[in-house]
Amino acid sequence: MELFQTLTVEEARECLKQHLKWRQEGEKVFLHEAYGRYLLKDVLAPEDIPSFDRSTMDGFAVRASDTFGASVSLPAYMEVAGETLMGQDAAGFLETGKAWAIPTGGMLPSGADAVVMLEYTEDLNEYTIGITRPVAPGENVVRRGEDVSNGSLVLRSGHRLRPQDIGLLAALGIAAVEVRNPIRAGIISTGDEVVDIKETPQPGQVRDVNSYTLYGLVIENGGLPILYGVVPDEFTALQGLMIKALEENDLVLISGGSSVGARDVARGVIASLGKPGVLFHGISIRPGKPTIGAVVEGKPVFGLPGHPVSAMVVFDLLVKPLIKYNCYPDEKGNNLEFPLRAYLTRNVRSAAGREDYIRVKLSEKERRLYAEPVLGKSGLIATMVKADGLAKIPASREGIEAGEEVEVKVF
């Protein structure tokens, strides 16, 4: 019984988007703990950076207009009226025609608007220098607020904090910052043949691979994974565990038994949990076709294929953006999901109307990037381990020939 049509990845995302209701809770963390977290709110600069006009060179602060016309043959001679010490208030006013000694990073005295590098000055005597080259106003100076001005928007809500962002927050004196709570992802494995890794599989049984792969994927993308273990393909047992996982998480992943019967049980259970329930069953990609997408009371639930490779590909396309960004990338905006371009080393066939994701090994020769398809049946875990990334074959193509460029992402 096939009630649902097969959707493209874009259609599947659109469909999920319409029913998602994300809570927007957060917590305040110290900068030490902020790396990789997502901002809950916009950050506005509470002050100027720098908070004073700052020299970028060792030399002499001057009024630029006093140096106009200066040259080696006709230096501009100036009395040294004062000196800025590192980390000290310049605490002075520079009169016309005078100079002020200053180190890199030092504060300009008021009145000064430029710095002459030490290399372009000569000592005449203890109190007088000659300037051998003119400077323009603002030269070798970072003006107050030039880096960041008070009140400006420095980081947007939802931005993932990189090391430089944390540095900027430190510069602004923002020692703690409000970040989103990580998305909690419940992980359930089903399948009568699947046993936990702590057990010894009997003939016909296999160990639970997907729970551990998904656990790593959730962590990699900033989420908080919770393992619910392995449950047989049995309606009541799976339903009980699903209800618990939905209560305790923002999102639930079931990686299904591989048989048709197991998939039917998973779909039946998801459909029983609440509204709107199952939105699609099947997406037009390979691997990953037998995917179930659902939303229950605003929370997404995914029935991922049992094959580890398929489960990873579907996670990457449908689950990862939700955990990492709480949303799907805007199709109209920049889309760097497959940022690399590489030359395919072998012909690869594909069916039109279906996106194919092939595992590739990357190598670089003479500054060109090559993607070699990793051969092997799609169910083999070893192929994912041998591969460096995934290459995408668009739905419009029936294959890619060796030497053509493909779009690749590293995983």
82-121 positions binding a copy of itself, by CB under 8 A: 84-91, 103-107
**Does 173 sit near a copy of itself (CB under 8 A)?**
yes
Nearest distance from C-beta of residue 296 to a copy of itself, angstroms: 25
**Does 339 sit near a copy of itself (CB under 8 A)?**
yes
- Which residues sit opposite 299 in a β-bridge? 296
**Does 253 sit near a copy of itself (CB under 8 A)?**
no
- Which residues sit opposite 107 in a β-bridge? 54
The residues in 211-250 that bind a copy of itself, with binding defined as CB under 8 A, are 211-217, 219-220, 227, 233
**Does 340 sit near a copy of itself (CB under 8 A)?**
yes
Q: Name the segment binding a copy of itself (CB under 8 A); options: 8-16, 234-242, 379-387, 395-403.
A: 379-387
* Beta strand 194-195 pairing with 206-207: parallel
Closest to a copy of itself by CB, 60 vs 76, is 60
Q: Could you tell me where the DSSP H helices lie in 84-200?
A: 163-171
* Beta strand 251-255 pairing with 184-190: parallel
Closest to a copy of itself by CB, 274 vs 379, is 379
Residue 63 near residue 215 (C-beta atoms within 8 A):
no
The residues in 22-61 that bind a copy of itself, with binding defined as CB under 8 A, are 31-32, 34-36, 49-52, 54, 56, 58
**Does 134 sit near a copy of itself (CB under 8 A)?**
no
**Does 153 sit near a copy of itself (CB under 8 A)?**
no
**Does 332 sit near a copy of itself (CB under 8 A)?**
no
First to last CA, the chain: 36
Closest to a copy of itself by CB, 243 vs 362, is 362
Nearest distance from C-beta of residue 3 to a copy of itself, angstroms: 20
Closest to a copy of itself by CB, 192 vs 243, is 192
Closest to a copy of itself by CB, 31 vs 271, is 31
**Does 358 sit near a copy of itself (CB under 8 A)?**
no
**Does 255 sit near a copy of itself (CB under 8 A)?**
no
* Angstrom distance (rounded) from CA 135 to CA 108: 15
**From residue 410, how far is each of 160, 178, 342, 395 by CA, in Å?**
19, 31, 11, 21
Backbone angles phi, psi at 44, to 5 degrees: -100, 145
Work out the burial of residue 264: count CB atoms within 10 Å of its CB; fewer than 13 is exposed, 13-18 middle, 19 or more buried.
Answer: middle
How many residues touch a copy of itself (CB under 8 A)?
104
Closest to a copy of itself by CB, 171 vs 351, is 171
The residues in 265-294 that bind a copy of itself, with binding defined as CB under 8 A, are none
**From residue 359, how far is each of 158, 313, 319, 320 by CA, in Å?**
31, 10, 19, 18
Residue 323 near residue 249 (C-beta atoms within 8 A):
no
* Angstrom distance (rounded) from CA 405 to CA 370: 9
